[in-house]
């Protein structure tokens, strides 16, 4: 069979390039479709994530509001505790006077005090009867001078005998320098307050 082909080469080249172009255009369109689908998917996921984040941030805001409320409650509690302590110290004020009266009674005529320290334990009083009383007890520290050791002993006996203190301890007695036989002494007493 006579088989010839008179198609010019330029036409074949144009067709080949057109087919190549169509092939690439097809690929580009396919890529575009895939990208569009991916974009839509991502956007949907992003929208879901955004709404979730929004919901969580709202919850965070709510929790922050609650924390702020709790902090204000804590502050209120602290403020009330301070007020309670103040009320307690005010309520203990007459007792202090009573203790001082007992100390004054116990002193001999020549003995005198130059320091009275009252260490008040609020916890011990606030938790009265809870079994932790011994850990913190109110005490009275007395420092003063007496004409001799005998006066110090009398003061010690009188304090123990008055019933205002559970335990009276002579922490220190120091003789002051001098030439007479009756020499002044400086004493230091610690008295643990008794419960009323």
CA distance 100 to 104: 6
Stretch that binds another protein, among 5-13, 32-40, 87-95, 171-179 (CB under 8 A): 5-13
Query: Which range, of 7-15, 21-29, 37-45, 83-91, touches another protein by CB under 8 A?
Result: 7-15
3-class secondary structure for 85-144? HHHHHHHHHHHHHHHHHHHHHHCCCCCEEEEEEEECCHHHHHCCCCCCHHHCCCEEEEEE
Q: Are 89 and 122 in contact (CB under 8 A)?
A: yes
What is the token pair recorded at 101?
A: 């009266």
Q: How far is the CB of 25 from another protein (least distance, A)?
A: 17
What's the closest the beta carbon of residue 27 comes to another protein, in angstroms? 21
Q: Shortest Cβ distance from residue 13 to another protein (Å)?
A: 11
Footprint (CB under 8 A) of another protein, residues 14-33: 15
- DSSP assignment letter at 177: P
Q: Which of residues 54-73 bind another protein (CB under 8 A)?
A: none
* List 8, 129, 131, 178, residue binding another protein (CB under 8 A): 8
Q: How far is the CB of 8 from another protein (least distance, A)?
A: 5
User: CB 14 → another protein: shortest distance, Å?
Assistant: 8
- 93 near another protein, rule: CB under 8 A: no
> Closer to another protein at the Cβ: 5 or 114?
5
Long-range contacts of 77-80 (CB under 8 A, 24+ apart): none
Residue 101 near residue 134, CB atoms below 8 Å: no
CA atoms within 13 A on the CB side of 160: 11
> Of 101, 102, 96, which is closest to residue 160 (Cα–Cα)?
102
Comparison of 6 and 90: residue with beta carbon closer to another protein: 6
Contacting range for another protein; rule: CB under 8 A; set: 9-17, 62-70, 141-149, 186-194: 9-17
Query: 6: which DSSP letter?
Result: -
Positions in the binding site for another protein (CB under 8 A): 1-8, 10-11, 15
């Amino acid at each position: 069979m006579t088989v010839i082909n008179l198609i010019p080469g330029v036409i074949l080249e144009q067709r080949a390039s057109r087919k190549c172009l169509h092939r690439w255009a097809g690929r580009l369109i396919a890529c575009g479709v895939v990208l569009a689908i991916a974009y839509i998917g991502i956007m949907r996921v992003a929208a879901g994530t955004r709404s979730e984040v929004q919901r969580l941030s709202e919850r965070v805001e709510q929790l922050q509001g609650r924390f702020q409320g709790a902090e204000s409650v804590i502050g209120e509690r602290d403020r009330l505790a301070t007020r309670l302590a103040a009320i307690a110290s005010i309520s203990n004020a007459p007792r202090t006077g009573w203790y001082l009266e007992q100390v004054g009674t116990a002193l001999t005529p020549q003995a005198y005090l130059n320091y009275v320290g009252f260490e008040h334990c609020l916890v011990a009083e606030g938790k009265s009867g809870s079994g932790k009383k011994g850990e913190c007890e109110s005490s009275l520290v007395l420092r003063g001078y007496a004409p001799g050791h005998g006066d110090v002993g009398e003061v010690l006996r009188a304090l123990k005998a008055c019933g205002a203190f559970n335990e009276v301890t002579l922490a220190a007695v120091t003789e002051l320098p001098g030439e007479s036989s009756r020499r002044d002494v400086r004493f230091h007493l610690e008295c643990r307050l008794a419960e009323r």
